[in-house]
Amino acid sequence: MTKKRQFFPRQVVEAGGNRWDLAMLPIVLAVFVLLAYGSQQMVRPYAVGETLPLSLEPYYLPYYLLRTTLRMFIALGASMVFSCVFAALTTKYRLAEKVLVPLLDILQSIPILGFLSITVTAFIALFPGNLLGVECAAIFAIFTSQAWNMAFSAYQGFRTVPSELSEAASVFQLSGWQRFWRLELPFAMPGLLWNMMMSMSGGWFFVVASEAISVSNQNIKLPGIGSYIALAIEQRDLGAIGWAITAMLVGVLLYDQLFFRPLLAWADKFRFEETGSDTAQESWLLTWLRRTERTQQLVEWCGGLLARSIAMFRLQHDGTSIRARPQQASLLPQRVWDAVIAAVVFYALWELGHFIRAEVGWSEVGRVLVLGLYTLSRVLLLLALAALVWVPVGVWIGMHPRWASRTQAVAQFMAAFPANLVFPVAVVAIVRFHLNPDIWLSPLMILGTQWYLLFNVIAGASTVPTELRHAAHNFGLTGWLKWRRYLLPAIFPSFVTGAITASGGSWNASIVAEYVSWGDTTVKAHGLGSYIAEMTAKGDFPRIALGIGVMCIFVMGFNHFVWRRLYTMAESRLHF
């Protein structure tokens, strides 16, 4: 009879272990204690109108860093679940893909601050008399800055699973659940992890807005780095801003060493190649963990609980992959679904026409469309310039894992640096030197979104099979021929994913980058972003809705006619 394995309770109380446990157990236990303490502070009693204590003294920063990091990791976990569900549905069901992919285009084009203004009241009402409602609103705002990028990455990974692996899954008769866990998610994991890092860093850009909330004429500042920066800006305390940036750097280094670097080293085993990899990343924490005994038992126990929880809710299939099942001969469901979508579209167009005639007028629509073309030209030009700079850099970093491990934390900090802290400098320079705002405000749009390109290119280059690298070397590929035949096809799917999220983020950033203020001085460029920001300042809600609607149309149209076709090209021709 096979002896049933016992989990954590009996094993951990046994004496023993080794010297690596002495180093690892304190780290693991400290993380659990900090998580428990931070979680306890998130559910304390609170009433709207109550002032939460907030100080600019530097010794409060470790506590604020804990609160902010906890919110960002909760949002990251929710983004991971959302991305996996989105990718699974859109790659397995054609009907779901027709609806969810355009919906994601719309969601990433909606200003993130708009999500916060809509949801904060609902969350507060959901948890009356408790701080958890405000915390949930802040976490949701951070979630909206992380989820879309990760969802596109998972979608790209699931769509580009090699055909030989799909055929092997069909031969082994994997169920849809088994296929997800044993093929699709592992194959997409390396790229998804790099996008998780980018999403984590990108969330810092919106921390100030998500932790300093305005609702019911009340200003709520949750304890955290974002509210600390907001208070420092209000009091014009440059020293406090410097301390906040230092705390951010410390936080980025900590979660890079304790979370992302071990995950990247662990995910190297999911690389699709036939020979051993000579480009694997290393992690001192993962090496220590593999040498421990009691700490591994603790981790295995937690993993066992997670696996049991997932097993309780998993769907049972009939033993064959959903994706591998033969298609139904009847086209009736497809036609009915297309008819429903067409009816919804026509109804929306009818309501839109009535809204335009009654509220804004067709001349205003023409003006806004022209402003959208201005912003579109900026987005395309900035993306092209960013690609020329960061694609070669990303390929080089991805091909050299030692340098990747050295520059990983630096890249995360640069991506996490709040770009809105640079806006006042831009205003002063433009006013002092009489510069053209239409030109010199444009780089601010790409300042925080160019990193989507870099991180995705690094992810694509780091997953190139080793045998392909050896083949390119043996054939003597150099110069442009090497880029055209080898490097560009290898990274193309990842580049498209990065370009989609970078362009969507640039449209979003145009709202704050084309209309910049410092004190009593305001500088604006001609564009759709400055139009939305100006109408928001005036409180003209019909024109705000018009501006956001036109922005959604531009983003969806460009994604459909350009990025989707590049995705199809990446699936059929340009991937390994």
pLDDT beyond 90 at 35:
no
Give residue-wise pLDDT tens across range 466-494.
778 788 878 888 888 888 888 888 888 88
Give residue-wise pLDDT tens across range 540-560.
778 877 888 888 888 878 877
Query: How many CB atoms sit inside 10 A of residue 48's CB?
Result: 14
The predicted structure's pLDDT at residue 327: 44
**Paired strand residues for 181:** none
End-to-end, the C-alpha distance of the chain in Å comes to 46
The predicted structure's pLDDT at residue 328: 47
Q: How many CA atoms lie within 13 A of 271 on its CB side?
A: 24
Query: What are 33's two structure tokens?
Result: 């204690």
The predicted structure's pLDDT at residue 9: 43
Give residue-wise pLDDT tens across range 234-269.
787 878 888 988 888 888 888 888 888 888 888 777
The predicted structure's pLDDT at residue 79: 93
**Most confident among 47-51, 63-67, 222-226, 531-535 (mean pLDDT):** 63-67
Three-class secondary structure of residue 213 per DSSP = strand
Do 321 and 170 meet the contact criterion of CB atoms below 8 Å apart? yes
The predicted structure's pLDDT at residue 523: 84
What gap in Å lies between CA 182 and CA 169, rounded to an integer? 9
Give residue-wise pLDDT tens across range 191-221.
888 888 888 877 777 777 778 776 555 677 8
Give the angle 409-412-417 at the CA atoms, nearest 5°.
Answer: 125
The predicted structure's pLDDT at residue 3: 43
Pick the more confident residue, 67 or 571: 67
Structural domains in the chain?
17-271+294-321 (1.10.3720.10), 361-576 (1.10.3720.10)
Three-class secondary structure of residue 523 per DSSP = strand
The predicted structure's pLDDT at residue 215: 56
According to DSSP H, which parts of 183-223 are helical? Answer: 185-203, 207-211
With CA atoms as reference, report the closest residue to 490 among 477, 506, 505.
Answer: 477
What φ, ψ does residue 314 adopt, rounded to 5°? -75, 150
Q: 16-25, 168-177, 229-238, 447-456: which range is least confident on average?
A: 16-25
What gap in Å lies between CA 561 and CA 558, rounded to an integer? 5
Give residue-wise pLDDT tens across range 53-96.
888 899 899 999 999 999 999 999 999 999 999 999 998 888 78
| DSSP string over 447-470 | TTTHHHHHHHHHHHHHTS-HHHHH
What gap in Å lies between CA 496 and CA 453, rounded to an integer? 9
What gap in Å lies between CA 347 and CA 92, rounded to an integer? 29
**Paired strand residues for 518:** 521
Query: What are 502's two structure tokens?
Result: 């970078």
Pick the more confident residue, 57 or 335: 57
Query: What are 138's two structure tokens?
Result: 């802040």
The predicted structure's pLDDT at residue 260: 86
The secondary structure element, H or E, covering residue 521 is strand 521-524
The predicted structure's pLDDT at residue 122: 81
How far CA 21 is from CA of 18, 28, 260, 545, in Å, comes to 5, 10, 21, 58
Q: How buried is residue 102: exposed, middle or buried, by Cβ count under 10 Å (0-12/13-18/19+)?
A: middle
Pairs from 542-548 (Cβ < 8 Å, separation ≥ 24): 542/355, 542/359, 542/360, 543/360, 543/364, 545/355, 546/356, 546/359, 546/360, 546/364, 546/365, 546/368, 547/368, 548/109, 548/110, 548/111, 548/114
Q: 44-48, 243-247, 274-278: which range is least confident on average?
A: 274-278
The predicted structure's pLDDT at residue 11: 42
533 confidence band (pLDDT: 50, 70, 90): confident
Q: What is the DSSP code (8-state) at residue 5? A: P
This prediction's pTM = 0.75
Give residue-wise pLDDT tens across range 415-438.
777 666 676 677 778 888 888 888
With CA atoms as reference, report the closest residue to 325 among 476, 174, 541.
Answer: 174
The predicted structure's pLDDT at residue 381: 92
